[in-house]
Amino acid sequence: MTDPHEVQFELLDNADLDANIEVNVFLRRFHGTQAAVPPPAIVRELVQGLQGLPDPVTSVARAGGDVVGAATAWTPVMLIKPLLHLKDPMSARKVLTRWRLFSHMAVAPEQRGLGIGRELVRLLEAECRRGGAVAMFGFAEDLPEPSWPFYERLGYRILGRGETTLIGGIPSGQGPGRAGRGFDRRLTVH
């Protein structure tokens, strides 16, 4: 376990390919997916005609130079096409700019309980707020153990099973078969 005073927090530079790979490798240990930055080709396809969406934001915790925690948030790209079918591109862009999908978060097991997760979320929320976000939402998996109590302690509203956050009138819930709970929160202005 690391002394909490020895942990440094930073925002990931999206242009730093080596750092992106390092954070993705760390997050894959816990989530099994490419996590920190969605693949550029997918984003380009989804945002055709919809310019000016915020870049992904990733907060990183390091101890002794090693990644010991990371949290990511990005524009909810899965809502782009449904929003474009219901609204004009400018209205869709406004909705998408105001919300961020809390994509992935992990803290190394031996570093948990030191406040690292709380600080990662605080840094992520502050940067999303600077980028125009007024709210965040996500989905907390139940396996191997439920993570939604962590978000509840940070002030997030925990949704009941089957409930979903509506963003621009579009449900943002997870597909069937996922075990967990949704969560959302309006961001306060500091």
Task: Dump pLDDT digits (tens) for 116-151.
Answer: 999 999 999 999 999 889 999 888 877 677 888 999
Determine the residue type at 96: L
Q: Cα separation of 172 and 115, whole Å?
A: 29
- State residue 41's pLDDT score: 53
Domain spans in the chain, listed from the N-terminal domain onward: 4-186
**Whether residue 46 has pLDDT greater than 90:** no
**Helix, strand, coil content of the chain in percent (nearest 5):** 35, 25, 35
- Tens of pLDDT, residue by residue over 49-98, are 566 777 788 999 999 999 999 999 988 767 766 776 665 667 777 778 88
Average pLDDT, the chain: 81
* Assigned CATH topology for domain 4-186: Aminopeptidase (3.40.630)
Q: Cα separation of 165 and 126, whole Å?
A: 21
**Structure token digits, residue 114:** 């030191």
Q: What percent of the chain has pLDDT over 70?
A: 74
Host H or E run for residue 153? helix 148-153
- State residue 124's pLDDT score: 95
